[in-house]
Amino acid sequence: MFWSKAAGLTGVFFSLISVKLIIKYGKLTIVRYAMIGMILSFIFTFSRPNLYMSAGFSVLYTASLSVCIPAVISLTGEYGGRGRAAAVSLYSFLLLAGASLGPIIAGIFSFHEILFLFSVFYSIAVLFTIRK
């Protein structure tokens, strides 16, 4: 299981090209497709409980997250206007609070329930990124 999680860390290297992707495709588009990548990784991990497949989808999730976070921070700063610093601080607080609550939530729910919940949450978030 350790090597499965360690394989997912290779997706972090996508953060190095996140700025180029944001410039080329736009912040909102990157956030939308990164969340879709996260949703797909959850769905495929849920449907294929193989350790090697989980490791591969962990790379997809980590890569998507590594691209999504800089784009969200950039959007937060852009939409924050004069309260940009406060908006980024609030975003950082919520991100770290979620990371702190993660182990507690993981102890309450099963792995498959967590995958399902995150898939639902990210799907709702994707719907909010679609403009009319």
Residue 49 near residue 125, CB atoms below 8 Å? no
The alpha carbons of the chain give a radius of gyration, in whole angstroms, of 15
Report phi then psi at 56, rounded to 5.
-65, -45
Distance (Å, whole) CA 75 – CA 78: 5
What's the pTM? Answer: 0.80
> For 27-83, what is each residue's pLDDT tens digit?
999 999 999 999 998 888 888 777 788 888 889 989 999 999 999 989 888 888 888
3-state helix, strand, coil in the chain (%, to 5): 90, 0, 10
For position 1, what pLDDT does the model report?
63
For position 25, what pLDDT does the model report?
94
- Per-domain residue ranges of the chain: 2-129
The residue to which tokens 């299981």 are assigned: 1
